Structure 1
């Protein structure tokens, strides 16, 4: 009996030891997040294992055995795609398995034209084809040497200087990047630095306003006046400004403007002024400048291509939608004098209105060449026959017109206008919402008078309102508009 009992105890102990020795393995330490790799990356997969006795190990990639007998496995990203790397551990006590999820991104590939060329001061649109990872958040960088010139997929390239440049394009996605380099040839051209072409002329009149002047304010005595039809005046102003970049135009009182065109695109040079505008204005009465890039190359500034250059007065307008309507009334003469009347009225609920009278003797209105001066006449008005004293509105001009825009009201007392230069940086261009815009360059410049004297400058003279805004000493004149980036 004792022998039988001893045998049972021995068998029980032996059985118990066998079960302990082959307890089923347990795998842990496998993150459920997908591991993202790039081509060429390597990663060591090292799970944690408990119950090691008698274990066998197998590694499978997408169901196919990749290794056996190893606790750790080095996965090398040789091709792109999704991979399930499964680790199995088994012994006589049981089996366990866990899987790593791995995604290998496609490599970045860039396709870009091998031959790039453009004339100086012209824009070439360069758009490489970029393929690779299916992800958002690509980053791009264009550079020449150490200078970063763009951070978008496409590049609007322009250079004001001829030469050969090495253009680098880099695409970045996550941890990977790719770079290509191309040579771009900029061909030489001859341009005029001044925006000599007058595209549009819309002056606002006032006392002794000289709408037909192309030159200096005193040049009327020397024949700088050109009373012509509207289109002929634009052509004449363009002709003269091409030869003489200082030949100015009178913009006049509030709301007056002129639009000028370059014979090339002015490059936007990063970090420095691109334009220099010379004119006569007060330091508290700078003109507002708008610029346009002819993106669609139709030769005109479309409405959606205009951007304002942000200056110290930006956002100070107290009347964003102000307007004044000017209307020619009449001209009368006597034996010695000529009297010209025009009316004006603004668009406010309690409207300001008035009448400007210009009267001058015939002798004081004659140039040295013996022609009658248009100084003080309504824009487009001229004495067509000095003998009969006949006056007329010339073709293309209007006897009534409205000037619209924003109005910035200031006290300009004691701050006279003088000839000065205004630097313009295209990088300060903003859209109608005040958001900065990135322009490769500009083709058109519009100069507008927006500052208006405060109401205390309205005085009552003999029962009539006299508007200081339309005083001769407050009128804006613009002459040179130079491309500062062009060196030839």
Structure 2
């Protein structure tokens, strides 16, 4: 009897276990947010254990969108954050897990409909860009197969007239959007040479000729123009506009001149942009500085200047050398004229010296019978030859300083001669040595930065200071736009 009762209880217990429901368990749902773009589809398929008697429900932001399925395909049709919840349950219990999904805004770009500019002028194009809040945007501007920019805004400039299809592309994550507009470049007439002289800052020396406009050896042919400062600038500009041979005699260390183009010289990638003619040796290359008139005020502001990096960059012994020149007096007798001036530098214990120009009147006459001021202090002129009266012309100071970096160098055997210096605007650097991307340039400054020494054959191995020797002084001729065809 006892055995029969035990078997009956065992059968009842087994029957009870067969009808038991265990609650479902859900896995395979990550904690990271899934990022999608408009049009993307994502199959959500969690792992489920304990399947007996289960029912399933899918909700998007707490709204039921599907039931009875163990997976769900989410389609991104609008931007925003979405919480996709999967629920499973049976008589034994329930479980749920949520997928976090973020659908990014679509990228949209547009450019103004009307784009027109004169050749060799810059037009700043700022496209409209909307889209997801990301930090990995990349931009590209192109004309045909040529990429012309990789920043959001474009400073467009062309050296040639015509009509171009300009395409802008923006990329972020997996998204890309483009916009194309036609830009018309109008034809204009310009002068290739940077003819306008904005500043003439000579530094004197032996037989320095501050009034020459042309080659220094042509003083006796009447190429001197002893004029008040502003009148000299105007005369030099007038001559340079029609003649590439109308150069300036800058002089010894620190001498400089600033020139202006009548247009913006285009910075063409992979090509040299300027051709400068000057009198120098290959060990005495002048420094070239360029400026783009970004604020369109017609002048080179101090923060717009950048140096063209060359092989001498970084080799200077000082960045802040300065020499001050002062006119003292002029004396004459029946045969000669004597012009006295002195100079001093900015060292703690200054180096200084005197400059004396000693000339006979007979040897100083041009072929036209005019007395030459070759060797005079800048701005000094013999205004009356009969009385031997001299005066400083208006705008020329009796004392001035020349400042800049200095590279001390032995130039023995490195003879200077007129040669061309090609300049690539892509080599422009700021005062930290960082490359600066300029669309083009409007101004050029040329300065003598090498302070020359050379072997003195009369004293053996001693190096002689030849900074103020006439043969070592810098002359600058034409500064040409290499891309301008007209």
Q: If the length of structure 2 is used for normalisation, what is the TM-score?
A: 0.97
Which residue of structure 1 aligns with residue 158 of structure 2? 159
Which residue of structure 2 aligns with residue 396 of structure 1? 395
Which residue of structure 1 aligns with residue 469 of structure 2? 471
Unaligned runs of 5+ in 1: none
CA distance in 2, matches of 1:387, 1:218: 26
Determine if contact 1:458/1:468 at 8 Å carries over to the other structure.
Answer: no
* Pairing 1:247-262 to 2, within 5 Å after superposition: 247-262=246-261
CA deviations over 1:384-413 (Å, ceiling 9, x no partner): 000000011100001110101100000011
Does 1:12 find its partner at 2:10?
A: no
CA deviations over 1:338-358 (Å, ceiling 9, x no partner): 111110111112321111111
Determine if contact 2:454/2:466 at 8 Å carries over to the other structure.
Answer: no
Determine if contact 2:211/2:224 at 8 Å carries over to the other structure.
Answer: yes
2:19 partner SS: helix
Which residue of structure 2 aligns with residue 59 of structure 1? 58
Which residue of structure 1 aligns with residue 34 of structure 2? 35
Determine if contact 1:411/1:453 at 8 Å carries over to the other structure.
Answer: yes
**Structure 1 residues 201 and 40: alpha-carbon distance in aligned structure 2, compared to 1, 3 A threshold:** same
Determine if contact 1:458/1:467 at 8 Å carries over to the other structure.
Answer: no
Cα offset for 1:134? 1.2
Which residue of structure 2 aligns with residue 407 of structure 1? 406
CA distance in 2, matches of 1:94, 1:457: 104
Cα offset for 1:92? 1.4
CA deviations over 1:103-151 (Å, ceiling 9, x no partner): 0000011131011000000000000111110121211111111111111
**Structure 1 residues 457 and 250: alpha-carbon distance in aligned structure 2, compared to 1, 3 A threshold:** farther
Cα offset for 1:459? 10
* Pairing 1:441-480 to 2, within 5 Å after superposition: 441-454=440-453, 467-480=465-478
CA distance in 2, matches of 1:181, 1:193: 32
Cα RMSD (Å)? 1.5
Which residue of structure 2 aligns with residue 98 of structure 1? 97
Cα offset for 1:454? 3.8
Greater shift, 361-370 or 447-456, is seen at 447-456
* Pairing 1:207-222 to 2, within 5 Å after superposition: 207-222=206-221
2:121 partner SS: coil
Greater shift, 89-98 or 266-275, is seen at 89-98
1:304 partner SS: helix
* Pairing 1:29-428 to 2, within 5 Å after superposition: 29-428=28-427
Cα offset for 1:3? 4.5
- Count of aligned pairs between the two proteins: 482
Unaligned runs of 5+ in 2: none
CA distance in 2, matches of 1:428, 1:289: 11
CA distance in 1, matches of 2:468, 2:57: 93
Greater shift, 3-12 or 246-255, is seen at 3-12
**Structure 1 residues 380 and 248: alpha-carbon distance in aligned structure 2, compared to 1, 3 A threshold:** same
1:206 partner SS: coil
Determine if contact 2:252/2:467 at 8 Å carries over to the other structure.
Answer: yes
Cα offset for 1:7? 2.8
CA distance in 2, matches of 1:115, 1:4: 99
CA deviations over 1:294-324 (Å, ceiling 9, x no partner): 0000000000000000000000000111010
CA distance in 2, matches of 1:83, 1:458: 87
Which residue of structure 2 aligns with residue 487 of structure 1? 485
CA deviations over 1:360-392 (Å, ceiling 9, x no partner): 111111111111111111111110000000011
CA deviations over 1:390-446 (Å, ceiling 9, x no partner): 011100001110101100000011211101000000000000111110000000000
